[in-house]
Structure 1
Amino acid sequence: MGWCCCSRWLSQSRLTIGVSVSPFLSTARSCSLSFSSNCHVSSSPQPTLQQQPPLTRSSQLVALEYADLNLSCNLDLGHVRIRQHVNPLSSSFSVPAQVPDWNQVFADPTLPLMVDIGCGSGRFLMWLAKRTPKERNFLGLEIRQRIVKRAESWAKDLALDNIHFLFANATISFKQLVESYLGPLVLVSILCPDPHFKKRHHKRRVLQKPLVGAIVDNLMPGGQVFIQSDVLDMALDMRNQFDEVEALKHIDFLNLGHSAMLCDSEGWLLSNPMGMRTEREIHAELEGAKIYRRLYQKHM
């Protein structure tokens, strides 16, 4: 679900977390969570470090937004270290993932499918799966094997039968996985993928032309592709590749019934249309970064 970095500790007088209504999920609800650090401005001498109020950490905000999942931290997996950047061109990631028996993986393997490429910890996908238990199946693909194991344990604890996680290099495995699935592919998300900043490493980025082609070819008419990144260069790279596809149209206006979600002057969605922020999104916004989002739909 996105690349990870060490989050800074920031102090804010008040922070409000807004969760929008999702156009994809009819059961998503609007909510607002807020807390105050009780800071105040004073002309008196600054308090010592011990006297200052506790600072807000992005991991605390992640726990707060995903609190209703009630995920256990007591897993027999040891310390789960997440590497910031993984080289998908390494020989260790060249073996295609084994296609699962979809009848064993999902309670109803014919339901519409959402695939999250680079699902990270899986919290975002589990949040969606928990809200649509009879409407949609969810498949998370992640190249970091240890966090896939943790996600599988969490999904089992939640007794979710409409979600599955796979240790997979999406560049190699996406096509054969979705072509073998029994139902329609309705949504693909690529959210804050590893940016691989150096130009010579751009070939390591997950979104390459073969994957773009596999996504578009297997997406059902009316199906959608949602991309986002907190790195502008990465977002532009993804946008340019999908903009070139004639079968897709950019969605710049979403009618959510009681409100409308628009794009800015450069065509980026102003907020997340899924109803929940990803973990990387929470980290980045706390640090003041802008999130670049884009939504596409396949022509009917």
Structure 2
Amino acid sequence: MSRIKVRQHVNPLSIIYQQSLIPPDWSVIYANLSAPIHIDIGCAGGRFLLQLAEKNREWNYLGIEIRESLVVYANQKRDEVSSNNLHYVFGNINTSLATLLASLPPGKLQRISIQYPDPCFKTRHAKRRVVQPELVNDIARYLPTGGEIFLQSDLEWVAQEMCDRFSENPAFCRTQTDWLEPNPLGIPTEREIATLNKGLPVHRAIWIRD
């Protein structure tokens, strides 16, 4: 994202990120409220969802990002292509996910993706990581039976830790024990492209809501 200045890392526990977001009027955002919804948590500049929304017009897409400048940029790019099945919101998912999910059309949430989250390497910063037990519980409450969780990271320990959090919740089961190859969604993120260009592996998994 060379066009805008963006902080690479933020502390989601900071007081400035503790206010819960106010969900928009989805009937204004999406042309077809009966379509299934895919949420991308930590969508950054939104390139991945923009391409996915163009490829799959029968789905609605929602990106959530804690860095507000990236959300502004992503919605500008969406407006340039006049997409009516895509939107981005600014918010801290660890304080706003339940509110956001409760506001969606009932039963329409069908997939959540969490890709290349900030690893927060230091042990004392573990609570800053995106996938916490509370987040998994919120997803379990609102994701219908058969809904998907798509996880991926270029760091195996990060991917494994995310999988561990979902394995601890009896509402989810993993589709296979080894890492998925190739990307089942068919659209790579910018981080994924950079990782693969270096000849490095990407660790992916899908979990299903029982």
- State the TM bucket, normalised to the shorter chain: over 0.9
Q: Indicate which of 89, 100, 111 corresponds to 1:166.
A: 89
Deviation of the 1:278 alpha carbon = 0.8
Amino acid at match of 2:195: A
Contact 1:226–1:294 under 8 Å retained in 2? yes
Deviation of the 1:84 alpha carbon = 2.0
Q: Indicate which of 278, 283, 289 corresponds to 2:194.
A: 283
Mapped to 1, the partners of 2:40 and 2:175 lie a distance apart of 19
Contact 1:185–1:223 under 8 Å retained in 2? yes
Q: Does residue 295 of structure 1 match 2:202?
A: no
Q: Does residue 152 of structure 1 match 2:63?
A: no
Amino acid at match of 1:275: G
User: Which structure: greater helix fraction?
Assistant: 2
**Corresponding residue number in structure 2 for 1:237:** 161
How many aligned residue pairs are there? 209
**Corresponding residue number in structure 2 for 1:92:** 16
Structure 1 unaligned residues grouped into runs of 5+: 1-58, 60-72, 74-78, 253-265
Mapped to 2, the partners of 1:83 and 1:197 lie a distance apart of 17
Secondary structure at 2:114 match in 1: strand
Q: Indicate which of 43, 51, 59 corresponds to 1:136.
A: 59
**Corresponding residue number in structure 2 for 1:220:** 144
Q: Indicate which of 168, 181, 193 corresponds to 2:104.
A: 181
**Corresponding residue number in structure 1 for 2:120:** 196
Amino acid at match of 2:84: D
Secondary structure at 2:138 match in 1: helix
Deviation of the 1:271 alpha carbon = 1.6
Mapped to 1, the partners of 2:110 and 2:122 lie a distance apart of 33
Mapped to 2, the partners of 1:251 and 1:123 lie a distance apart of 27
Structure 2 unaligned residues grouped into runs of 5+: none
Larger radius of gyration: 1
**Corresponding residue number in structure 2 for 1:82:** 6
Percent identity, please: 39
TM-score (norm. length: structure 2) = 0.95
Amino acid at match of 2:191: R
Deviation of the 1:109 alpha carbon = 2.2
Secondary structure at 2:98 match in 1: helix
**Corresponding residue number in structure 2 for 1:108:** 32
Secondary structure at 1:222 match in 2: coil
Amino acid at match of 1:208: Q
Q: Indicate which of 170, 181, 204 corresponds to 1:270.
A: 181
Contact 1:122–1:140 under 8 Å retained in 2? yes
Amino acid at match of 1:143: I
**Corresponding residue number in structure 1 for 2:50:** 126
Deviation of the 1:131 alpha carbon = 1.6
Contact 1:109–1:181 under 8 Å retained in 2? no
Deviation of the 1:178 alpha carbon = 1.2
CA offsets 1:90-112 (integer angstroms, 9 cap, x no match):
11111111110111111122321
Mapped to 2, the partners of 1:82 and 1:240 lie a distance apart of 30
Mapped to 1, the partners of 2:76 and 2:165 lie a distance apart of 35
